[in-house]
């Protein structure tokens, strides 16, 4: 009898620990309004992002690189590289190309605070090391309402214009779970299997209590993800298998047909993949194969450091400004392959090797190698790399002269 009690107690404690780990992966913080009232709880950003590994994206409101470049050094580089340097580099910062946007993109877990809310389109993000980045609206991460699930008040919706600042911090293990656990799945694609935390229809559904919609025999269904065992695209809809064993063929909704904007898969060690619907063969929703990253798993940003080798055989080593834009290892490299888009933190990239006009070979620190293209980070649209050879001397290398970029941990 004592042995049975011990087994049941161990099982109960294991379940509690798993739930606690899941809760720690939820986006959590304190919202302070302009009237100085504060509320603390689980956050759903613009009714989409809800986990620390979700992406926050905005345009950089001012080019940080200008703060780092000495005008005399610029003149020397300009003379040494003639018009190539002028066209490829400085004109981007002198407003001669108004279409150019320099994007800041990182996972929420690297952010300590968002403050200086102005005009529904400007904020300042403070990273965990205290670095401040002035940002402006891009997409809906700036300007849309913020939803909070408060332990005693329930669901609260904050209008962006009323917010003064948002402080992020650890989610308690005993957090009241309003949304259910994160959705996790094993995904079979035309390129092979993938596995990780799932965000459905490009940032819309990510938790067990989120709904998947569709029509079956002229009846509209709204099914919680937590009740679904598997999904398989079929013709103009999808076959949904529920955990009770029953099957439904749903159609007439972007959740279940080719109008789906993509399925985000948050993998354990290859970044995030936005899988194109046409690449999906089947997904089985399962228990997590690894823990949901918590706030403490995301460190302070480190400057990009590495070596740039040119096609002429030269090599330059030092701090890097990649694509004249990314300066920290927490920032994200974008690239596509077979219609699916990868979002990879620079912290897990070992090297980038341009292959041709449109593609580059991206090798990760775990040895995985991916051919990526169609985005400015990895094709001819790349603006080149600036290398800090010393504290006061730089070398600009245009993309077309780069043989490889190798990142070196510091």
Asked if pLDDT for residue 80 goes beyond 90, the answer is no
Higher pLDDT, 106 or 324: 106
pLDDT for the residue numbered 72 = 44
Whole-angstrom distance, CA of residue 182 vs CA of residue 393 = 47
Asked if pLDDT for residue 361 goes beyond 90, the answer is yes
Whole-angstrom distance, CA of residue 215 vs CA of residue 221 = 6
Instruction: Give yes or no for a contact between 278 and 155, defined as CB atoms under 8 angstroms apart.
Output: no
Domain limits of the chain? 19-61+103-168, 67-99+302-407, 184-294
**Apex CA 262: angle with CA 257 and CA 263, to 5°?**
105
- The SS3 call for residue 282 is strand
Whole-angstrom distance, CA of residue 356 vs CA of residue 353 = 9
* pLDDT band at residue 63 under the 50/70/90 scheme: low
**28-33/163-168 β-pairing:** antiparallel
- The SS3 call for residue 136 is strand
Q: What is the mean pLDDT of residues 358-376?
A: 94
Whole-angstrom distance, CA of residue 325 vs CA of residue 92 = 11
Q: What is the mean pLDDT of residues 323-347?
A: 93
Asked if pLDDT for residue 41 goes beyond 60, the answer is yes
Whole-angstrom distance, CA of residue 366 vs CA of residue 271 = 12
The percent of residues above 90 in pLDDT, for the chain, comes to 70
User: H or E element: which one contains 107?
Assistant: strand 103-107
Q: What is the pTM of this model?
A: 0.86
Phi, psi of 182 (to 5 degrees): -65, 145
Asked if pLDDT for residue 367 goes beyond 50, the answer is yes
| 370-387 confidence digits (pLDDT tens) | 999 999 899 999 999 999
Asked if pLDDT for residue 269 goes beyond 50, the answer is yes
Which residues on adjacent β-strands are paired with residue 167?
A: 30, 113
Q: What is the mean pLDDT of residues 386-404?
A: 91
pLDDT for the residue numbered 95 = 43
| 107-118 confidence digits (pLDDT tens) | 999 999 999 998
| 216-237 confidence digits (pLDDT tens) | 988 999 999 999 999 999 989 9
């Amino acid at each position: 009898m004592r042995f049975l009690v011990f087994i049941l107690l161990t099982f109960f404690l294991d379940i509690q620990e798993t739930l606690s780990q899941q809760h720690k992966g939820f986006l959590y913080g304190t919202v302070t309004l302009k009237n100085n009232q504060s509320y603390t709880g689980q956050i759903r950003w613009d009714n989409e992002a809800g986990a620390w590994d979700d992406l926050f994206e905005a345009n950089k409101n001012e080019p940080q690189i200008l703060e780092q470049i000495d005008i005399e050094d610029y003149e020397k580089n300009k003379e040494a590289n003639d018009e190539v340097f002028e066209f490829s580099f400085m004109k981007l910062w002198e407003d001669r190309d108004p279409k150019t946007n320099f994007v800041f993109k990182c996972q929420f877990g690297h952010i300590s605070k968002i403050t200086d809310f102005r005009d529904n389109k400007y904020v300042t993000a403070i990273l965990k090391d205290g670095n401040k980045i002035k940002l402006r609206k891009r997409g809906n991460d700036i300007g849309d309402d913020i939803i909070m699930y408060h332990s005693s008040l329930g669901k609260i919706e904050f209008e962006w214009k009323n917010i003064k600042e948002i402080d992020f911090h650890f989610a308690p293990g005993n957090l009241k779970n309003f949304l259910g656990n994160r959705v996790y799945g094993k995904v079979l694609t035309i390129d092979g299997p993938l596995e990780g935390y799932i965000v459905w229809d490009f940032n819309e559904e990510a938790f067990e209590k989120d709904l998947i919609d569709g029509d079956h025999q002229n009846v509209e269904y709204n099914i919680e993800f937590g009740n679904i065992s598997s999904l398989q695209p079929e013709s103009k809809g999808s076959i949904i298998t529920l955990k009770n064993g029953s099957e439904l063929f749903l159609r007439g909704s972007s959740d279940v047909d080719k109008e789906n904007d993509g399925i985000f898969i948050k993998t354990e060690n290859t970044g995030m993949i936005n899988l194109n619907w046409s690449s999906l063969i089947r997904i089985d929703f399962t228990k997590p194969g690894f823990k949901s990253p918590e706030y403490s798993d995301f460190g302070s940003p480190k400057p990009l450091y590495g070596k740039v080798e040119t096609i002429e055989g030269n090599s330059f080593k030092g701090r890097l400004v990649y694509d004249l834009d990314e300066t920290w290892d927490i920032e994200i490299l974008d690239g596509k392959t077979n219609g699916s888009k990868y979002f990879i933190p620079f912290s897990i990239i070992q090297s980038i090797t341009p292959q041709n006009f449109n593609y580059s070979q991206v090798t990760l620190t775990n040895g995985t190698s991916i051919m990526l293209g169609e985005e400015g980070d990895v094709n001819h649209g790349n603006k080149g790399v600036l290398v800090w050879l010393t504290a006061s001397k730089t070398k600009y290398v245009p993309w077309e002269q780069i043989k490889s970029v190798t990142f070196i941990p510091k």
